[in-house]
Structure 1
Amino acid sequence: MQLLFSIGFLEIHWVDIIDILLVSALLYNFYNLVKNTLALRVFIGFLSIYFLYLVIQATEMELMTAILGQFMGVGVIAAVILFQQELRRFLMMIGKTTSLNQDFFQFLFKKNKNPQNWNIEPILKALKTLSGLNMGALMVLSANEDLKNYINTGDILDAELSERLLVSVFFKNSPLHDGAAILTEGKIKAARCILPVSENEKIPANLGLRHRAAIGISEVTNALVLVVSEEAGQMSAVHRGQIKHNLALPQLREELNEYFAHADDEVETVK
């Protein structure tokens, strides 16, 4: 193994540099999956305990090493349970980006590109109509993530994007209006879907279950969620647990363009 340089008792080899870069890249990509979500706090907590364990192990504190060693053994199982959704998304990202037609280093330092044929005009027109009629609506848009677990909770449509269809789904007398519509791959995949409700205590009390569900799904996925309030007809956008209230149509267009451009890591915005 070729020695790169030495600092006192510390010897640095080429393989050590590669090792550090690989670990940094993996941590960076996993951080991108959990940032602005409740899972981030748990992730930071696990890292803090693990680094403390390494320090105690290096100082040869046998009792503390034994105690934290037992905790770390159980902690791996706990992490798999707590980060089930994030690990699934992380493994899916690896599966997509390490295929034969892509460069492995693109996975390490760039986001996965997954261009899709999205037409946002029917979405914007439907939002405008629903807002004008004070019809509550909840739309989950995913540019590059599999939401199959949530899609399976509702009724599968797999229909082309259409203003009339979206408005019909959320019409008050429609059997599909109760729940969320999930849009992926440029289509309306399902309606009447059940979403996880956020448990964030900082959410204002005036926000109802529809908004809490929008925040909840945005905390565990990279989806952009659009909400129309049934009481006031106000339109909102939610991403990564952050909600933007009372948006006008041009602002919603900007949110959609920014989301798709960022999700696909493309220079062009969606028209």
Structure 2
Amino acid sequence: MTELNLLIIVDIVVTGLICYKFFTLIKETRAIQLLKGVLVLFLISYISRQLGLQIFNMLLEQLRTVVLIALPIVFQPELRRALEQIGRGKLFKYWTNRDEFKIKIDKLVAAVMRLSQNQIGGLIVLERRTGLKEVIDTGVKLDAILSTELLVNIFIPKSPLHDGAVVIDEGRIVAANCLLPLTNNKKLSQSLGTRHRAAAGISEETDALVIIVSEETGVISTAFAGRLKYNLDEFDLKEEVFVKFSEDTDN
């Protein structure tokens, strides 16, 4: 095998890895729909050139220019999230070892189930790779070891910290009474309350997994990448948390 052939193989492998990593970053965001649209646009443009449709092709050229200018503005949250992950150097983190991780999941889920059974509203943000310092700074810093009892007590109605969200990172309750940005997604049901809209909002701007407990019904939901999942039971919630954080160690 010549040196040139080896260089070509390395080039192909590196390019493939970069493309794969890029896809994993956007696969659960709005950007994946944009990527499909751009690919369709380029395909139409190619066909137009082959058929010699000069006027139509000129219009497509102008449209591509507008799209390229609009991309950084429309998809600023996704771009910021990707740049933050690259800037951190270490793209993935995990909650210590797997045994301790499972214990912490059990404590977290037990607290959520207790909130649900007593119809106590709750909003819990689980930090993953994107830092949440801006959110943490809006609340009361605790830096406490995660426990079922403490998490439940934080959300007891009329307690000092029951409003707002709790932020959990690496198995510690970092802060409570935090403010989250509300989503601007018009496709979400108008019947959704502030907790659900706040959960969707922070999940659009970061890669956090957010757990919501409805005060009116006790229904458990999650928000991730701007998408909401409703009516989760104990098993569903454990699986959702475990899968999202296990993804970090599988890469």
TM-score (norm 1): 0.70
Determine the structure 2 residue equivalent to 1:245: 231
Task: Out of 160-169 and 50-59, give the one that drifted further.
Answer: 50-59
In structure 2, the residue matched to 1:230 is 215
Cα deviation, residue 172, structure 1: 1.4
The residue aligned with 1:138 is 123
The 5 A counterparts of 1:115-264 are 115-117=94-96, 118=101, 119-191=104-176, 192-197=178-183, 199=185, 201=187, 203=188, 207-240=192-225, 241-248=227-234, 250-264=235-249
Structure 2: stretches of 5+ with no match in the other structure: none
More off after superposition, 134-143 vs 170-179: 170-179
Name the residue aligned to 1:37: 29
Q: 1:89 aligns with which of 81, 103, 112?
A: 81
Amino acid at match of 1:222: D
Secondary structure of the residue aligned to 1:255 is helix
Classify 1:25/1:72 alpha carbon distance in 2 versus 1 (closer, same or farther; 3 Å). Answer: farther
For residues 96-141 of structure 1, the C-alpha deviation after alignment (integer angstroms, 9 at most, x for no partner) is 45x7xxxxxxxxxxxx542223423432232233223321001111
Evaluate the alpha carbon distance shift between residue 151 and residue 52 of structure 1 in structure 2; reply closer, same or farther with a 3 A threshold.
farther
**Structure 2 CA distance for aligned equivalents of residues 69 and 189 of structure 1:** 50
- CA–CA distance in structure 1, aligned partners of residues 50 and 18 of structure 2: 24
Structure 1 counterpart of 2:154, one-letter code: V
Cα deviations across residues 220-264 of structure 1 (Å, max 9, x unaligned)? 44322212121222323343414041413x443333222222232
1:70 deviation in Å? 4.1
CA 1:54–1:23 in 2, change beyond 3 Å: closer, same or farther? farther
Q: 1:32 to 1:150 in 2, by over 3 A?
A: farther
Which of 72, 80, 84 matches 2:72? 80
Partner residue, 2:20 = 28
Q: Secondary structure at the match of 1:120?
A: helix
In structure 2, the CA distance between the partners of 1:93 and 1:245, relative to structure 1 (3 Å rule), is same
- SS of the residue aligned with 1:145? coil
Task: Between 61-70 and 116-125, report the one with greater CA deviation.
Answer: 61-70
Contact 1:237–1:245, Cα closer than 8 Å, also in 2: no
The normalised TM-score by structure 2 is 0.74
Output the CA distance in 1 between the equivalents of 2:216 and 2:160. 20
Q: Structure 1's 79 and 204: CA in aligned 2 closer, same or farther, altered over 3 A?
A: closer
Distance 1:208 1:81, change over 3 A: same
Structure (1 or 2) with the greater helix fraction = 2
In 2, are the aligned partners of 1:130 and 1:136 still within 8 Å (CA)? yes
Instruction: Tell me by how many angstroms 1:58 deviates.
Output: 7.0
Aligned residues: 242
The 1:67/1:204 distance shift into structure 2, 3 A limit, reads closer
Supply the distance in 1 between the matched residues of 2:145 and 2:155 (Cα, whole angstroms). 16
